[in-house]
Amino acid sequence: MTYDDHPIDAAQPMTDEQKFLFDLKGWLLLPGVLAEDDVTAIREHVYALRDDRDSLDPNDRYSLSGPAQVLVDHPAIVTVLRGVLGGDRHDGCYGFRCENSFPMVRSEGQVGLEPHGGGLGVGVHKYSCQNGSIYSGLTRVAWELNPVRHGEGGTLVMSGSHKMNFPIPDSHLGFDSPLFETYECPPGSAILFSESVNHAGPIWKTKDHPRVAVFNCYSNADAQYHKLCLPREVIEAMPPKRRTLFRGVWHHDFYRGAPNDYFSEENVAL
């Protein structure tokens, strides 16, 4: 099976409203952007990764491959990633990189990570906005593959905390802080947030269905936070432009007089 590059023209620029909201809150919800067939196929893939990984083609044993590969540079999120991490180097090369992914099946009563992040926590990847230009050096995209009802366990986000200048007071360190916001959405929605924003994985509260999600992380092309941990063969099976999301981390080779705008056997992120 092949998973072609998305058509180049499919991604529109980030709207002024999206820029305003992302800068104000540190996160953005894109409801229902995946086709139903993709939602079904990716949800089944997440279950297969958990229950029957060995039955999958070796290249498909990851949340960045198989049917989930279309998430990596889905036009709806590319729109935002270009706006918060950087535009394409050219038509064949993204201006940002993808460096981490994990699948999730969270059943009733299961809880995720405690509240973490906020302000300067991710070092050189920290959030900033200058002269109308957003820089969210480490940006997470959570793809929800089952419905999420308000307050039933979607990611909690402390809106505005990506720009905080003082430590979070003890009274707001827990899951129960009233400063946390969350969302509701249909299957096939994407939540994009700056890893600079304080966020948490609260307890999943419904037995109607588990939380099934894929979490992908993107960084500035010239800096790396996560170790990649994806075999080169998996990347080589991707279409050409998608491969550039996994290229090595450097900007320009002055020895050869060449920019870093390609993926190759020698130019893979560590």
Ligand X SMILES: O=C(O)CCC(=O)C(=O)O
CB-CB contact of 97 with 246 (8 Å): yes
With CB under 6 A as the contact rule, the residue among 62, 143, 183, 215 that binds ligand X is 215
Residue 241 lies near ligand X (rule: CB under 6 A): no
Residue with Cβ nearer ligand X (173 or 258): 173
Residue 199 lies near ligand X (rule: CB under 6 A): yes
- Cα separation, 229 vs 101, whole angstroms: 9
Q: In the window 105-164, what residues touch ligand X (CB under 6 A)?
A: 112-113, 140, 155
> Least distance (Å) from ligand X to the CB of residue 200?
6
CB atoms within 10 A of CB 212: 23
Helix (H, G, I), strand (E, B) or coil at 159: coil
Tokens coding 74: 């889905």
> Least distance (Å) from ligand X to the CB of residue 16?
27
- Cα separation, 211 vs 193, whole angstroms: 18
Residue 224 DSSP symbol: -
Residue nearest to ligand X (CB): 201
- Cα separation, 137 vs 125, whole angstroms: 4
Residue 201 lies near ligand X (rule: CB under 6 A): yes
Residue with Cβ nearer ligand X (40 or 110): 110
Residue with Cβ nearer ligand X (47 or 175): 175
Binding interface with ligand X (CB under 6 A): 112-113, 140, 155, 199-201, 215
